[in-house]
Amino acid sequence: MPELPEVETIVRALRPGITGKTISHVEIFWPRSIVGDCGAFINHVTGREISEVFRRGKYICLLLDDGGHLTIHLRMTGKLIYCPGEKDKKHLRVRFLFNGNTVGVGSKSPGECSLHFIDTRKFGKCQLWPAGEALLPALGPDPLDPGVVLDVLKKITSTRAIKTVLLDQHLLAGIGNIYADEALFAARLHPLTPAREISSIKRGRLSRVLPVILAAAIENKGTTLSDYRLPSSSSGSNQHFLKIYGRDKQPCPNCQTLIRRIVVNGRSSHFCPRCQKNNVPRS
DNA sequence: CCTTAGTCCTGCATGC
DNA sequence: TGCATGCAGGACTAAG
């Protein structure tokens, strides 16, 4: 599942390839991949030049030359792939064709390239935000911005589990299941710890490790567990460095105690029962 | 304020 | 071997 580091990796790869290019054609193969009316989407987007490519939480954002934005959320299985040929036709949902003066990646002719939005489970969404309309207004601040995580954690008065809070995109934008578990392990916090009961020492610890873990994952070009790929269709390598996520019943890298998996807020959560002690009744 | 269940989907794992 | 079942999961919505 693409989270902040995966989306950041994709944005960095996309930026030199499509900035300054014009969207010459859009083809929609699964209409529900578009938020709102498909015809209006095509009409607005076609002929627009890409002014900027950036990330906001888990959203890939394209600033268009008319001041509007095109956002893409990959959810679980979404991918943006340059010129993948015909082999992924089965899961192709939207195809963007670009032309312009910059050098296309994997393109047949100079300045031209196509970008395929491929999404097995069809949960991903493309959305148009007209000029003047606030972009993603409900999204919280970015956990990579200095001081942000500590500020947010300080303000929490909620009794909700810290795992739930980390996944709440209104509070912090971009953290998903993998990096929430990794950060809680590094901070030695049990996922069910009520957020407002976390001591200032542990709050400090969590706010320190979270940006480091995210930055390291970006360095590794993201975590490829199944679907996630770079636009070149190559894999990330951060999966080799995960310490807790997906390691149910395997020994903790710190103390060899067997890692446990529980469900918090409907999401699977992995933790070490010894390193991540619980103040709360029950494991 | 909060939590839970349902919705969207498909591929893969499980069980008989 | 084949078929049925169920599970995962990000964000949103409705219900309690």
Name the residue among A111, A113, A12, A1 with its Cα closest to residue A54: A12
For the CA of A165 and the C1' of B6, the distance in angstroms is: 22
A164 CB and strand B closer than 7 A = yes
pLDDT in tens, A2-37: 999 999 999 999 999 999 999 999 999 999 999 999
The overall average pLDDT reported for chain A is: 93
Residue A177: what pLDDT? 95
User: Is the C-beta of residue A177 closer than 7 Å to nucleic acid chain C?
Assistant: yes
Task: Quote the CA–CA distance of A171 and A160 in Å, as a whole number.
Answer: 13
Q: Distance, angstroms, CA A263 to C1' C13?
A: 22
Q: Catalytic residue positions of A?
A: 2-3, 58, 267
State how far the Cα of A77 lies from the Cα of A42, in Å rounded to an integer: 23
| CA triple A215-A170-A270, angle to 5 deg | 55
Looking at the DSSP assignment, which residues form a beta bridge with residue A71? A61, A127
pLDDT-above-70 percentage for chain A: 93
pLDDT, one tens digit per residue, over A69-99 is: 999 999 999 999 998 665 778 999 999 999 8
Return all residues near A182 (Cβ < 8 A) that are at least 6 apart.
A213, A242, A243, A244, A245
Distance A167 CA to C10 C1' (A): 10
> What pLDDT is attached to residue A281?
46
Give per-residue pLDDT as tens, A160-170. 999 999 999 99
A132 touches strand B (CB under 7 A): no
Q: A104-153, pLDDT tens digit by residue?
A: 455 555 567 899 999 999 999 999 999 999 999 999 999 999 999 999 99
Specify the pLDDT at position A283. 41
Tell me: pLDDT of A101 over 80.
Answer: no
Split at pLDDT 50, 70, 90, the class of A1 is confident
Classified as helix, coil or strand, A278 is coil
Lookup: nucleotide whose C1' is closest to A160 CA? B2
Residue range A234-253: average pLDDT? 95
| The pLDDT of residue A99 | 87
Q: What is the pLDDT of residues A194-214, one digit of tens each?
A: 999 999 999 999 999 999 999
- If you average pLDDT over residues A216-236, what whole number do you get? 96
